Amino acid sequence: MASRSVRTPKDLVASKLVDEADLPTIADVAQRYAVSITPAMQDRIFTVDDPVGRQFVPTGQELLTTPEESADPIGDDPFTPVKGITHRYPDRVLLKPVHVCPVYCRFCFRREVVGPGDHMLRGEQLEAALDYIRAHPEIWEVIFTGGDPLVIAPSKLRPMLEALDAIEHVKVIRFHTRIPVVDPGRVTQDLVEALRLGTPVWVVVHTNHSQEIGDDARGALRRLVDAGVPLVSQTVLLKGVNDTPEALEDLFRTLVVNRVKPYYLHQGDLAKGTAHFRTTIGEGQELMRDLRGRVSGMCQPTYVLDIPGGHGKVPIGPVYLTDGAARVTDPWGEEHAYPPPPPAAATVTEEPGEKGRAGR
């Protein structure tokens, strides 16, 4: 395994992930968007253009911005009452205690605000965020995100979790993280113990291709599940990474075998410099239609769009009902009436003389 994370354009050249001739362009990209590739992911990149390389190795395409792209594509800012809190839905809040990640995905929807530096909530800021949660009894679930919240040392994470565990109306705590896959060595016994509370803790694992999931990642997932932490996954639909039925099938089967339930397949957000990753919604719907007939329901995520401007997340999967729900299409493309027509009434043909004999 590589010995350290790649963090600079010169590191990328030294690791043979970027050509020397492309260094000036990559330096421009790195000045705008953070770069980091963990040793675990370096080992899973077999070629720069493979499904893992495309996710983490910067390219000059990121300097191209289309008119519809935004620095805040899902509209977090208007729903931020205090630093570190996003409260878009009535019963749940995002808690963003840190803005750094072990890897920086080239398609990240928060790429304008994550990166190196001291961005952790501390002291009064953290207490203000917790006070906001305490003061809103409608908050049923707290979702740790960021950045990647599991980069926080267990010794610092534990007090945050204990504070939430003490809030009566908080019934569920959720983590959104890439750590178990991209930096599995961080899933230590100390971390697992920190996640074991009276309040149930769920972990949503972000992974986009089965090539990311090596033996170390499988071990990290196993440590979490064996400790009683339920796991689901989220995946971003990415052109050139997982936009085939075969790639998605392999990923979702791999996850289920490792006791991770596929939860969300996200349409790519309109983040700046990410147009080269986005499929159309129609293409995504066709992929979901292809999956419906070929893999178990356990392997089926919900295909969703986070509506730009902070209007929430909605399912956008294929529709199987037509004609006002009078017809339904099966997984193999054949249409059927619904409800089906009743069977034709049975008719009885009597042989000549039968009635007379029956009356005797």
Query: Do residues 234 and 181 lie in contact, with contact meaning Cβ atoms separated by under 8 Å?
Result: no
Report d(CA 138, CA 91) in Å as an integer.
Answer: 5
Report d(CA 265, CA 241) in Å as an integer.
Answer: 13
Query: Do residues 181 and 204 lie in contact, with contact meaning Cβ atoms separated by under 8 Å?
Result: no
152: left (phi over 0), alpha (psi -120 to 50) or beta: beta
Q: Number of helices (H) and strands (E), helices first, in the chain? A: 12, 12
Buried b (16+ CB within 10 A) or exposed e, 70-96: bebbbbbeeeeeeebbbbbbeebbbbb
Task: For residue 264, count other CB atoms closer than 10 A to its CB.
Answer: 18
Q: Which residues pair with 85 in a beta bridge?
A: 95
Give, in degrees to the nearest 5, the angle at Cα 346 between 341 and 352. Answer: 160
Residue 56's identity, in one-letter code, is F
Query: Do residues 209 and 265 lie in contact, with contact meaning Cβ atoms separated by under 8 Å?
Result: no
Query: Do residues 27 and 9 lie in contact, with contact meaning Cβ atoms separated by under 8 Å?
Result: yes
Residues annotated as catalytic are 88-89, 92, 101, 105, 108, 110, 269, 306, 313
Contacts of 119 (CB under 8 A, 6+ apart): 98, 99, 100, 147
